[in-house]
């Protein structure tokens, strides 16, 4: 093998990465600044990019280059790029281009239909779109091949190496301890008063304070932006241009403040990737679960922690003197950690959050398998909410229409959120062992030490290590639910006086 073979391969890989980056920039625009009537044109543009990307990934010439390189490259960078592009290529050749284009177009239209259906709380208006997308994704799963469970084929795209049996086992193990812990907290002697977070928080102050927090934990606004969208997200078009969004609610502190810490956590991962490997697997995030571990780590493990507010609460009171001026730190810290079963996943506390994911995982699997009919989704959803969390949505907007994922044609993605929580707990435990005075550092406003630890252990490696390898490398053990359960009980016991 000559270097020119690898260079020719790399040139193609970079183009694939650049097409994906353009796609993500257009997606960002669709959710932020595009006027409503731009939708038709945007659907065509995105469908074109999706099919161009697919052509590049499935190109027989790329396959030939991979054949020539496999077994002949030896340095870790080249090995990683070849291994991961092989994965992309093999998936792509199995899926007809026409199917890719149909999914892209169907999902752009479904997103618009979903937004309207959710605003009107009208599931039947969204149902035909869901039916179409589900059918298209069944076709994708069958093209990719699976051992009888279509869900495995879809999950593997977001969390390489994970399978539904393994996820189901983790979730089964989590269910009972979480439900028991929620009941324990509800019966605890000390109860937080979450109403202090429902006072009036002026938007300008929220924006100023949220930006201040994002910058303090290390988000670089010279290499990124914060804008407003209905559904907060973070999209990376390259480590020098990382864009995230939030939404402001003047009657609720948590939405923007913790939303920004979450998305900025995703942003730190994107900004921490190695720019010399831009647009190649070595310069891209490992998996969605690992991505989510970074956002949850900053949002919850750091951002809802006592040291964080020891440092920031004075500033917070000065930004919101009317709402928080007379509220002691203890009460505030307890309130941002209030645990209560609720309807909306993105507003759920750390304890009940994973139960929201269990619901989606079970329902998605049943839908893909044809065990639940589309028209029965609302009732199936409500029944599961009742079973898992003991609450029943009043309407579809706060039930089965709350999330955008299915409208994006994304099935098999939800488990990565719960995996992210488990990864985050295991990483945070390892970080505390590696940096024994981490709490004191956070209390002093030193976020750089933790950020650099995350960067050098996770971000900088791109896709060099698969999720399970990364977890084992960092913590010395495979992923388990124990660090997460330990973290919850250590954290919530003092807050609730247990």
Footprint on this chain of Zn ion (rule: CB under 5 A): 292, 295
∠ CA 121-127-132, rounded to 5° = 145
Number of C-alpha atoms within 13 angstroms, CB side, residue 327?
27
Residue closer to Zn ion by CB (options 332, 361) is 361
**Neighbouring residues of 233: CB distance < 8 A, sequence distance ≥ 6:** 31, 244, 245, 263
Choose between 255 and 334: whose C-beta lies nearer to Zn ion. 255
* Nearest distance from C-beta of residue 353 to Zn ion, angstroms: 11
What the block records as the tokens of 440 is 């004191």
For residues 292 and 364, which CB has a smaller minimum distance to Zn ion in the complex? 292
d(CA 183, CA 15): 52
Please enumerate in sequence order all residues whose Cβ is within 8 A of that of 183, keeping only pairs 6 or more positions apart, or say none: none
Nearer to Zn ion, 418 or 495 (CB): 418
441: buried, middle or exposed (CB in 10 Å: 19+, 13-18, 0-12)?
middle
User: Least distance in Å: CB of 419 to Zn ion?
Assistant: 12
Please, which residue, 132 or 350, has the CB nearer to Zn ion? 350
What six digits make up the tokens of 373? 């009919």
Tell me if residue 204 is catalytic: no
Using DSSP's 3-state secondary structure scheme, residue 317 falls into: helix
Measured from the CB atom, the residue of 20 and 418 that comes closer to Zn ion is 418
d(CA 407, CA 241): 26
Q: How far is the CB of 266 from Zn ion (least distance, A)?
A: 6
Q: Which residues of 407-429 are buried (b: 16+ CB within 10 A; e: fewer)?
A: bbbbbbbbbbbbbbbbbbbbbbb
DSSP sequence for 104-122? HHHHHHHHHHHHHHHHTT-
Which residue, 249 or 405, is less far from Zn ion as judged by CB? 405
Q: Which two tokens stand for residue 247?
A: 């939404």
Shortest CB 173 distance to Zn ion, Å: 23
Question: What SS3 state is found at 145?
Answer: coil
Residue nearest to Zn ion (CB): 295
- Report the distance separating Cα 106 and Cα 48, nearest Å: 13
In whole angstroms, how close is the CB of 90 to Zn ion at the nearest point?
28
CB 333 within 8 A of CB 376: no
Structure tokens belonging to residue 94 = 């199995």
Spell out where 322-437 has E strands: none
Catalytic residue, from 132, 263, 299, 319: name it: 263
Active-site residues, by number, are 263
């Amino acid at each position: 093998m000559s270097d020119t073979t690898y260079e020719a391969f790399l040139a193609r890989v970079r183009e694939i990465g650049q097409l994906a980056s353009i796609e993500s920039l257009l997606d960002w625009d669709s959710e932020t600044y595009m006027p409503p009537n731009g939708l038709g044109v945007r659907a065509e543009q995105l469908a074109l990019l999706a099919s161009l990307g697919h052509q590049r990934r499935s190109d027989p010439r790329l396959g030939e280059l991979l054949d020539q390189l496999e077994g002949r490259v030896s340095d870790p960078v080249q090995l990683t790029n070849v291994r991961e592009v092989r994965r992309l290529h093999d998936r792509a050749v199995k899926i007809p281009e026409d199917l890719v284009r149909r999914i892209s177009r169907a999902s752009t239209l479904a997103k618009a239909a979903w937004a309207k259906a959710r605003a009107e709380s009208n599931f039947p208006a969204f149902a035909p779109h869901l039916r179409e997308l589900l059918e298209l994704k069944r076709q994708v799963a069958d093209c990719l091949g699976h051992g009888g469970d279509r869900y495995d084929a879809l999950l593997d795209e977001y969390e390489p190496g994970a399978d539904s049996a393994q996820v189901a086992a983790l979730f089964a193990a989590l269910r009972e301890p979480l439900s028991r812990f929620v009941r324990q907290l509800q019966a605890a002697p000390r109860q937080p008063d979450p109403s202090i977070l429902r006072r009036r928080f002026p938007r300008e102050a929220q924006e100023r304070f949220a930006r201040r927090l994002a910058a303090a934990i290390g988000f670089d606004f010279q290499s990124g932006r914060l804008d407003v969208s209905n559904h907060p997200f973070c999209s990376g078009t390259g480590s020098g241009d990382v864009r995230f969004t939030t939404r402001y609610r003047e009657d609720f502190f948590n939405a923007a403040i913790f939303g920004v810490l979450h998305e900025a956590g995703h942003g730190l991962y994107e900004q921490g990737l190695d720019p010399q490997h831009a647009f190649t697997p070595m310069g891209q995030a490992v998996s969605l679960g690992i991505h989510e571990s970074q956002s949850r780590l900053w949002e919850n493990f750091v951002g809802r922690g006592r040291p964080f507010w020891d440092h920031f609460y004075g500033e917070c009171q000065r930004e919101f003197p009317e709402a928080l001026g007379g509220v002691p730190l203890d009460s505030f810290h307890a309130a941002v950690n209030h645990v209560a079963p609720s309807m909306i996943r993105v507003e759920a506390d750390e304890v009940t959050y994973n139960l929201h994911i269990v619901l989606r995982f079970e329902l998605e699997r049943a839908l893909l398998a044809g065990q639940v009919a589309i028209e029965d989704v609302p009732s199936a959803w409500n029944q599961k909410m009742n079973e898992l969390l003991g609450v029943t949505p009043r309407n579809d907007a706060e039930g089965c229409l709350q999330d955008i994922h299915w409208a994006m044609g994304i099935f098999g993605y939800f488990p990565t959120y719960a995996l992210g929580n488990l990864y985050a707990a295991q990483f945070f435990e390892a970080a505390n062992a590696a940096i024994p005075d981490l709490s004191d550092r956070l209390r002093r406003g030193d976020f750089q030490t933790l950020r650099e630890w995350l960067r050098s252990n996770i971000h900088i490696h791109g896709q060099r290590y698969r999720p399970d390898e990364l977890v084992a490398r960092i913590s010395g053990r495979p992923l388990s639910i124990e660090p997460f359960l330990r973290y919850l009980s250590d954290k919530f016991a003092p807050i609730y006086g247990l």
